[in-house]
Structure formats: C-alpha cells, structure tokens
Amino acid sequence: MFTRRTNTLFNNVSPMADDLLPLHAVAPDVCVAPQLTPQAMAEAARQGFKSVINNRPDYEEGPEQPTNASIEAAARAAGLQYAFLPVQGGYQSPEEIAAFARLMADLPRPILAFCRSGARSTRLFVAATRR
C-alpha cells in the first residue's frame, strides 16, 4: 500500500525522505533501494517499515561505504528488525535465494531490502517468490 512508487507507506513524507530512502516497490509490502546509510534507518521506521535486509557485502566499494555494523546499530536503535545477507552482484546462489525466501517469510512486514543499486535485492526477491 505504497502511496508513491519512489516512496512510502504513508503520506507523511518529509522533503528529505526521497534522498534518504529512494525506494522502489516490488510488492505491496516490500521495497528495494540502493545503498542506504545509518541515517536512513530512522526514516525507514518513521515511514512504517518493520524490517531491513542488507544484501551488500561490507567494503564492496571501499572504506567510504557504510558498514553493516553501523547500519544494523542504527536500524535496531530505530526499532527495526535487521538481517544481513550479503551476496555478490553478478550471481545469487540457490542457497542465497533460499535464505532470502526464509527472511521474507520470517521477518515482520513491510520489509526494505537494499544493495548497491537495488538490482540484486530485486533479483533475490523475484527468485525467492518464484520458488
């Protein structure tokens, strides 16, 4: 029940929300996004997300990329469930797809998954829902 393709579950969107959470809905209660920052976690919670899945390996683009630990700490501080399932951009194994499917089944929704561009999170979602 997202009100806009690029953002949010609700109409209470701040002007900075698009910058913090450049979302793409792949299902009524699942969105994907490119790399998110620790600061984006509070906005994700404010917009109604209950869970975050990080599909990006640490240091994929070097030390300036936010680490999983920093994003997880911010997500938990914002009251979000958090899962780290790092996968490579070019290939997602059957085991990684199965793990993503388990997260989709177990985590409270709405869910926000992210990676470098949003593409591998989208591929994982599509593959997991076709199982």
User: What average pLDDT is seen over the chain?
Assistant: 89
- Beta strands in 1-131, from DSSP E residues, in sequence order: 24-27, 30-33, 51-54, 81-84, 111-114
Rounded to whole angstroms, the Cα distance separating 4 from 87 reads 28
Q: Which two tokens stand for residue 54?
A: 């990080």
pLDDT at 112 over 80: yes
Residue-level pLDDT at 19? 73
pTM above 0.75, yes or no: yes
Domains of the chain, earliest start first: 17-129 (3.90.190.10)
